[in-house]
Amino acid sequence: MIKNFLIGLVLASFVFMFYNLYITYEPKTELSGIAAHYAEKGGAEVGAANLVTAVVVAYRGFDTLGEVTILFLTASIIGFFLKLSKKDEERVIVHHGTSELLITASQILIPIIFLFGVYVFMNGHLTPGGGFQGGAIIASGVVLSIMANPNREINHHAILWIESISGISFIIIGVLGIAIAGGFLDMRIFGLGKFGDLFSAGAIPVIYSFIGLKVGAEISNILNKYQKSQKES
Amino acid sequence: MENLDLGKVSLIISFALVIIGFWGLLSQKNIIKIIVSFTILETGVNILIVSLGYIKGRTAPIIDASVEQGANHNVLNSIVDPVPQALVLTAIVIGFGVTALLLAYAMKLFRAKRTLEINKFNDLKW
């Protein structure tokens, strides 16, 4: 009883706080400060049509590097945490077959899902999308393939190599920025190209492709760990 | 209906999601339900941040035909704020990482006691 009262008290104080925020809310009428600079100069300075991508990859590229690092850290902690003993590792669990519908549908859908993921991260600078979204779409294809065939083993080495190579390439392109362009993670190393083309906006499509591959590999790695931990006795 | 402000609507939705999320975090007993409440709370916060960058009558921050046909052919007057959207992109990825870790902990806890009832994990309680 007293617990419900305390929960009610906390929620009521939140409602009070939000009510005060709501009645003092004044909608924005124009872009201010840094946002105005991004909107005005973003197209010319970075060459990306999608200004969110321009902010994420070019102006705040360092943030994105940290973000990718956090995902990597998550995958590593889960790998450490769900580590199996030698005996469990060798155990074989045979799952029963799943539905015929799911298997047939997955054979048709998985290539299309992968293709769509690649499209989303390649066109991150032109359309709503980008590396993280594309990587998540690719990982959803991996989920579908595991659901259709629960006995499938994900190729651990391939994932590891894709992840490492894309991570290192990200850093190398960042360091190239110091040598060729204005500084670390400067995207203007290839020249900006024609505004609105697929190969434009300097290194943004390249970087976003590496991020997409890395995110897809990392999420697949986490899924692999979850799937394997079923063997734990 | 004409003077319904989309910014205020999304503010109300985000406040509602945050409150539902907190209610779930505080009152649910099952660990999986607590994790789901956590993601609802996180979605509410993300919607709140995006809605703060909303400007009435403007389009998404992507420079294409719809922006060029906008007010006075000027990017500055026809797009919403791109910065909160970029920040939320980061927040979503971090949220994914936190949720994945929470689920791994939930799996370990289930292996330890064969239950997901949070009341059964009272080893640190005195």
For residue B32, the model assigns a pLDDT of 92
Q: Where are the alpha helices (DSSP H) in chain A?
A: 2-23, 33-45, 51-53, 61-81, 86-90, 100-122, 131-148, 156-180, 204-228
| Substitution target from B40, B72, B83 for chain A, most A beta carbons within 10 A | B83
**Rg for chain A, CA atoms, rounded:** 23
* Chosen from A18, A53, A82, A127 to mutate, greatest number of chain B CBs within 10 A: A18
ipTM of the complex: 0.83
Question: What is the per-residue pLDDT for B5?
Answer: 78
Reported confidence tier of residue B72, pLDDT bands at 50, 70, 90: low
Chain A, nearest residue to B82 by Cα: A52
Catalogue all structural domains in chain B, each as residue range(s) with its CATH number: 6-55+77-120 (1.10.287.3510)
- C-beta separation of A64 from A72 below 8 A: no
| Residue of chain A with shortest Cα separation from B64 | A49
pTM, full prediction: 0.84
| Residue A71 placed within a domain | yes
Question: How far is residue A205's CA from residue A124's CA, in Å, rounded to a whole number?
Answer: 7
Distance CA A120, CA B84 (A): 21
CA distance A148 to A113: 15
Distance CA B30, CA A91 (A): 30
User: Degrees (nearest 5) of the Cα angle A123, A125, B48?
Assistant: 110
Residue A21 lies in a domain: no
Kindly identify which residue of chain B lies nearest to residue A126, measuring between CA atoms.
B62
A35 touches B at CB < 8 Å: yes
A34–B contact, CB cutoff 8 A = yes
Domain enclosing residue A77, as ranges? 56-86+93-231
Residue at A193 is within a domain: yes
- Can you tell me the distance from the alpha carbon of B76 to that of A43, in angstroms, rounded to the nearest whole number? 11
CB-CB neighbours of A201 under 10 Å: 32
Q: How many domains does chain A have?
A: 1
Say if A191 falls within a structural domain. yes
Contact list in B for residue A55 (CB cut-off 8 A) is 82-83, 86
| CB pair distance less than 8 Å for B8 and A40 | no
Each of the 233 residues of chain A gets a pLDDT tens digit; together they read: 888 899 999 999 999 998 998 888 887 777 778 888 887 777 777 777 788 888 888 888 888 888 888 988 998 899 888 888 788 777 777 777 788 888 899 899 999 999 999 998 888 888 888 888 899 999 999 989 888 888 777 788 888 898 889 888 888 888 887 887 777 777 777 767 777 677 777 778 888 888 889 999 989 888 888 888 887 76
B90 — contact with chain A (CB < 8 Å)? Answer: yes
What is the tens place of the pLDDT at every residue in B14-60? Answer: 999 999 999 999 888 899 999 999 999 999 999 998 888 888 777 77
- The answer, yes or no, to whether residue B112 has pLDDT greater than 90, is no
CB atoms A40 and B103 under 8 Å: no
Q: Which amino acid is at B14?
A: S
- Of the two residues B99 and B7, the one the predictor is more confident about is B99
CB within 8 Å: B82 and A74: no
Q: How far apart are CA A46 and CA B27, in angstroms?
A: 48
